[in-house]
Copies of this chain bind each other. A is one copy, B any other.
């Protein structure tokens, strides 16, 4: 929901966008199909990067280990720490920044939002700030980081996205389980339902 909304927003702002998805061995690899469908609909180039061999090194998370169950309950609850994939956002954004430089783009955009802050340290404003410092220092200042939703709630994101014409129900996938149908019980299913109802 978040990344899809960001993509619509960037296009609305007139940016030329390349979308990047990562296959890091997540249970919910299904999100990649939805990303591809949205990019096709919007005629945006889409790269899927195979990080399966990296995922192998990032065990201990319910999102990547088949033998750790996805916790049920509220997205901001302590139990959701089990869904943290260590250093995930830094790995993905580092690769995106490298490709931005190589392909001539001037920033990397990420849809982290206020609801992520409780559980995921790599979604917090301070992390985004210091990460951007590192990207600037390491690359002659050629790429910046753009996180326009960092202080927004998920409900706010859905309101924005509906105004932009997004069909969340059919065009986005959240569930961490990645089954045929959403489980309705994992943190991100609960969060999704709250945001859709709240908006």
Contacts and interface: CB of A to CB of B under 8 A. Distances in A.
B134 A90 contact: yes
**Interface hub of A54, A59, A135, A139 (most chain B Cβ within 10 A):** A54
Nearest to A91: B94
Contacts of A86: 97-99, 101-102, 139
Interface of A: 47, 49-51, 53-54, 57-61, 85-91, 94-95, 97-99, 101-103, 121-122, 124, 126-127, 130-131, 133-135, 137-140
Given A121-B139, A140-B121, A102 B59 contact: yes
Contact of A121 (B91, B122, B130, B137): B137
Q: How many copies does the complex hold?
A: 2
A87 B139 contact: yes
Contact of A49 (B57, B87, B103, B131): B57
Contacts of A61: 102
A53 B135 CA distance: 21
Given A127-B138, A131-B134, 17 more contacts: A49-B57, A57-B95, A57-B103, A58-B99, A59-B103, A86-B97, A86-B98, A86-B101, A87-B98, A87-B101, A87-B135, A91-B98, A124-B137, A126-B137, A127-B134, A127-B137, A131-B137
A185 B134 CA distance: 32
Contacts of A135: 87, 90
A103 B86 CA distance: 10
Contacts of A122: 137-139
18 contacts: A47-B57, A54-B98, A57-B103, A58-B98, A86-B97, A88-B98, A90-B134, A91-B91, A91-B95, A94-B94, A121-B140, A122-B137, A122-B138, A124-B137, A127-B134, A131-B134, A131-B137, A133-B134
